[in-house]
Chain A
Amino acid sequence: MKKLAVALVLVLASACHSDEKPMLAPDSGTEPTPDAMVDAPTPEATLTSYVIDLITNQTSGTTQARPYSEFATLPDPDTGNTTAYQSLF
């Protein structure tokens, strides 16, 4: 499950950046090597991050709907967090 979530985050991240380069930490200065990418801590995808990405980055009239299997088992740690989606408003 964690591997799936990590993969999803990477896919979404690549979709969000037109240069298709991995995201850089603000102070990193240089691009990480492939090994560094594997070892670096990666935030786990959640239903919250998935929904925010969907709305923020995939809203158009010509994109295809995302399959249920892609988000069916994502963890939802924000059920008690009323500000989880505040960035959308």
Chain B
Amino acid sequence: MNLKNRLLGSALAAATVLAPSASFASSHREAPFITKNPKVDGTDFYMFNSYEGTTRNGYVTLLANYLPLQDSYGGPNYFTLDPDAIYEVHIDNTGDGVEDITFQFDFDLKLANNNAGVDLPIGGKMINIPLPLAGSLSSPTDADQNMVETYKVGVIRGPRRASAPTLITNLADSSTTLHKPYDNAGSKTIANYGTYAGQFIYEFDMPGCTPTGVQAGTHARVFVGQRREGFAVNLGQIFDLVNFGVSALGVTPTGNQADLTGAADQNKNIVGSKNVTTLALEVPASCLTKDASSPIIAGWTTASVRQARVINPTASFGTPAREGGPYVQISRLGMVLVNEIVIGLKDKDKFNGSEPKNDGQFADYVTNPSLPILVEVVFGATGALAPTTYPRADLVAAFLNGVPSVNVLSSTLFEAVRLNTAVPATSRATQNPLGAATCFDPPASNSVGPTLNLARTGCDPAGFPNGRRPGDDTVDIALRVAMGFLLDQNHAPIRGAPLVDGAYVDARDFMTTFPYLNTPVSGAP
């Protein structure tokens, strides 16, 4: 197989891995055990070359979303993160499936007045107020905030548990303690949430790195806070046994049912009214790569909790429980949809606790994926037949190794988002929601495979699966690839169907600047 063919095959495989199935939530409540721990439930991981403008050229943006499906009105105790957990973003720049750089976020939650909280004089007594604020908020250190969430970010080089983190420092005040904004309770609490949240973007210089390839005087940035859910998916219908019409195959949609072969945007993004909590970093690419001649990196996010937790029978704010022991990873997220549509239910919790270097244990789920068959079970009578090539060596290449000539980091197989930091970012205005999936010519045969064609109309090589941006419509890409868009007709009977879930996503719907994901939905008008 020549290089181009291998590239196409890999791309197809990657798309298939991401696509087929009866569940398309990126990683929202995807495994049984994580549903008991929503604060550490990783939902999406984005990694892309920053496209904010020329002043941020040479930077890579990393976004790790946690705590899914937040209803904006969910107060009075909104969506704080777990102060006993650690949240991490890992970068492998050598291709061995072991992190070379880890950004470790460690949160703290305290009441005002040294954890005593705000008291008000009531009838001659000082009474502790029941709410997390005593008035409207406008700044990170607002005196009216009764419950304050802060965090520190440490950088670890080498295996994540081999050494202690080196804390980053806020360049504005030399502090290592950073503040997380209060969630968007409503306009009376926070008059202009965008302006308010913007004060929580901190600049820092990455410890141990002198960056190159970035504009002089610029610095790395970090932000943690609530954002509007950026993932677009028609979740309800998907989980209702893929309850779609397929007009192109004679299955006419009824009622409010979406059409799998209809318009890309059918206003079916049911999660678009939800919020998530985003851990955002923007770091010089040169501080993430191994060296100037090795521009490809692999990334993923994890969350870990202490191994033991004992509930305090006489709980207080500071000690509702005692947690201790070593950290144990219970959430893992790299490539979108993997733990939903590839990993079997009995192994989903195992996957969440696993490390990329051990991904060989999940190989059967990739070589013999079950989800295309599940789609066929639902729609097979209409002619929506699954691809027939087994074992799926193409999926192995894409799922565990990257796309040849684009973002292969090494010959070692492991699951992660892979990004070629040398591929120039595509501007927000010209991004294609179908990303790099648009850069392949149809295959002449399955043995030849798809062909990379960078001159193809709409080709956007800076998008998924070369990294992942907020505007990449990974669900539609997955749907099409799952049913064989990149395979030949003999092995994928409906390969040419422009499948959609009716939930549209586009870079132009997101913010123009870091952290790109939109301000959260307000809890009140």
Contacts and interface: CB of A to CB of B under 8 A. Distances in A.
Interface of A: 51, 54-56, 58-66, 82, 85, 88-89
A58 B326 contact: yes
Given A54-B307, A59-B325, A65-B307, 16 more contacts: A55-B306, A55-B308, A59-B306, A59-B324, A61-B161, A62-B164, A63-B161, A63-B326, A64-B161, A65-B326, A66-B307, A66-B325, A66-B326, A85-B310, A88-B322, A89-B312
28 contacts: A51-B308, A54-B307, A54-B325, A54-B326, A55-B306, A55-B308, A55-B310, A55-B322, A55-B323, A55-B324, A55-B325, A56-B324, A58-B324, A58-B325, A59-B306, A59-B324, A61-B86, A61-B165, A63-B161, A64-B326, A65-B307, A65-B327, A66-B307, A82-B313, A88-B310, A88-B322, A89-B312, A89-B322
Interface of B: 86, 161-165, 306-308, 310, 312-314, 319, 322-328
A73 to B, nearest CB: 17
Nearest to A61: B164
B306 A62 contact: no
Nearest to B162: A62
Contacts, number: 54
Interface of B is mostly: strand
Contacts of A56: 324
Contacts of A55: 306, 308, 310, 322-325
A89 B314 contact: yes
Contacts of A85: 310, 322
A62 B313 CA distance: 29
Most interface-central of B307, B308, B319 (chain A CB within 10 A): B308
B161 A54 contact: no
Nearest to A62: B161
A56 B325 CA distance: 8
Contacts of A66: 307, 325-326
A86 B164 CA distance: 30
Nearest to A82: B313
B308 A54 contact: yes
Q: Which 5 A-B pairs have the closest CB atoms?
A: A55-B324, A54-B325, A59-B324, A63-B326, A65-B328
